[in-house]
């Protein structure tokens, strides 16, 4: 077999095309009367999707910040009430709720009515704000 002149792409295509045939060959060598031709397109599909997945650019894993508005601040207990949008990492829909600041100093620059972006985590059953900053 002379493969030296084949490109990597050609080799990948060849491999992708070979797999269904190998599977079918195995099926037919078994004394089955049902070679199940439907399985062939199914095994081709993942190979067709792979290039699209590889093509999507690898974006920097920026922390997922939620958006909210300050409703209430309790500097003494380090708690802040936020009306927030969806929080993806907590799988939480929009609502108004109380968060505890991981560091009460985070709340110092805030005032009621501020629009903010914040990072929320769930820790020991409590919802904590680990980062919060004004949003334009």
What is the binding site for Cu ion (CB under 5 A)? 92, 95, 97
Closest to Cu ion by CB, 92 vs 128, is: 92
What's the closest the beta carbon of residue 94 comes to Cu ion, in angstroms?
8
Phi first, then psi: what are they for 16, rounded to 5°? -65, -35
What's the closest the beta carbon of residue 95 comes to Cu ion, in angstroms?
4
Q: Residue 39 gets which letter from DSSP?
A: H
Closest to Cu ion by CB, 110 vs 129, is: 129
Distance (Å, whole) CA 66 – CA 135: 11
- The candidate with the shortest Cα–Cα distance to 85, out of 77, 97, 74, is 97
Closest to Cu ion by CB, 16 vs 92, is: 92
Q: Residue 14 in contact with residue 2, Cβ under 8 Å?
A: no
* Closest residue by beta carbon to Cu ion: 97
What's the closest the beta carbon of residue 28 comes to Cu ion, in angstroms?
57
Burial of 25 (0-12, 13-18, 19+ CB in 10 A): exposed
What's the closest the beta carbon of residue 133 comes to Cu ion, in angstroms?
18
Closest to Cu ion by CB, 6 vs 115, is: 115
């Amino acid at each position: 077999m002379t493969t030296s002149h084949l490109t990597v792409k050609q080799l990948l295509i060849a491999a992708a095309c070979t797999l269904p045939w190998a599977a079918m060959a195995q099926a037919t060598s078994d004394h089955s009367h049902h070679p199940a031709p439907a399985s062939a397109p199914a095994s081709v599909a993942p190979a067709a999707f792979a290039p699209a997945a590889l093509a999507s650019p690898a974006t920097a894993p920026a922390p997922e910040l939620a958006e909210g508005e300050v409703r209430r601040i309790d500097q003494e207990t380090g708690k802040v009430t936020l009306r927030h949008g969806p929080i993806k990492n907590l799988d939480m829909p929009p609502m108004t709720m109380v968060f505890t600041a991981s560091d009460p100093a985070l709340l110092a620059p805030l005032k009621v009515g501020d629009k903010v972006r914040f990072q929320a985590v769930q820790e020991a059953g409590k919802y904590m704000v680990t980062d919060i900053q004004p949003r334009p």
